[in-house]
Chains A and B, each alone.
Chain A
């Protein structure tokens, strides 16, 4: 699923400008603990989180995560948007809570680890 389709599905605003809109997202991980994210290894992945700090972007970079969705109406800080744009990571923000946003993506074919 491409990033604009994901944004439409979970009614998310896309906060970054220079990511590749054709990136195909195949898998996802939902977590507020970055160490748990670091135990996740799938390619072309998306991270859903309620945590808002620069380490989220740094963790996404290390894990080669292509896009991050901030849930529950949280918005990334300007400094995080700049950092994500520099690294080519897409940032999205949705009002849906973590469970609902994850469920909608799962229902539409995005899968997690171990499947």
Chain B
């Protein structure tokens, strides 16, 4: 199988369509016959990262590469960056405003949920430049 590449844009502050990129990747993986467990783990990790880009990053981009053994996802934004990544990784820590909590997010579970559901997670972040969340999930371990 040759590598399948997909690129999506993630609009800023638009909660009605937030998650469309993840939904589309979920459908694609199911069509490719990837196991339901991997589809679910990938969907959760990508969706949380996509929501983060909407909430914190003024929107951004999703780049996806799928080959025979894995899926690699890069969610990038040009937002404010993460000041203390270790703190942000802690469950329950959140800088999201109340308006986001009213939408059901901002519980401080996003990055830890991404970590739990990905096989490799690498986050690049720079203050006032943006954040790149690199997620890899292997199809079989």
Q: Known contacts A61-B26, A62-B47, A64-B40; decide if A38 and B113 are in contact (CB<8 Å).
A: yes
Check: A32 CB closer than 8 A to any chain B CB. yes
Residues of B within 8 A of A49 (CB): 104
Which residues from chain A contact B107 at a C-beta distance below 8 Å?
Answer: 33, 35-36
In the complex, the answer to whether A34 meets B19 with C-beta atoms within 8 Å is no
A53 CB–B CB distance under 8 Å: yes
Complex CA gap A32/B22 in Å reads 21
B47's nearest neighbour on chain A, judged by CB, is: A62
Q: How far is the CA of A75 from the CA of B22 in the complex (A)?
A: 26
Q: Which of B26, B109, B110 contacts A62 (CB 8 A)?
A: B26
Chain B 1-33, CB within 8 Å of chain A: the 1/0 string?
000000000000001101100110010000000
Contacts of A56 in B (CB 8 A): 104
Q: A58-B47, A62-B26, A62-B40 are in contact. Are A38 and B104 (CB under 8 A)?
A: no
Contact flags B29-72 to A (C-beta < 8 A → 1, else 0): 00000001000100110011001000000000000000000000
Q: What residues on B are CB-neighbors of A53 within 8 Å? A: 15, 103-104
CB of A23 within 8 Å of the partner chain: no
B105: Cβ under 8 A from any A Cβ: yes
Q: Give A51 to B104 CA distance when docked, in angstroms.
A: 7
A34 contacts which chain B residues (CB < 8 A)? 104-105
* Chain A, 9-53, CB within 8 A of any chain B CB: 32-36, 38-39, 41, 49, 51, 53
A55–B103 CB distance below 8 A = yes
Given contacts A36-B109, A38-B44, contact A62 B19 (CB under 8 A): yes
Interface pairs A-B: 5 shortest CB-CB: A35-B109, A34-B104, A58-B19, A35-B107, A62-B43
**Chain A to chain B contacts (Cβ below 8 Å), 24 pairs:** A33-B104, A35-B108, A35-B109, A38-B44, A38-B48, A38-B113, A39-B113, A49-B104, A51-B103, A53-B103, A53-B104, A55-B18, A55-B105, A58-B19, A58-B22, A58-B47, A59-B47, A62-B19, A62-B26, A62-B40, A63-B40, A64-B36, A64-B40, A79-B16
A sample of 8 more A-B contacts (CB under 8 A), given A35-B110, A36-B109, A49-B104, is A35-B113, A38-B44, A38-B47, A51-B104, A55-B104, A58-B22, A58-B47, A64-B36
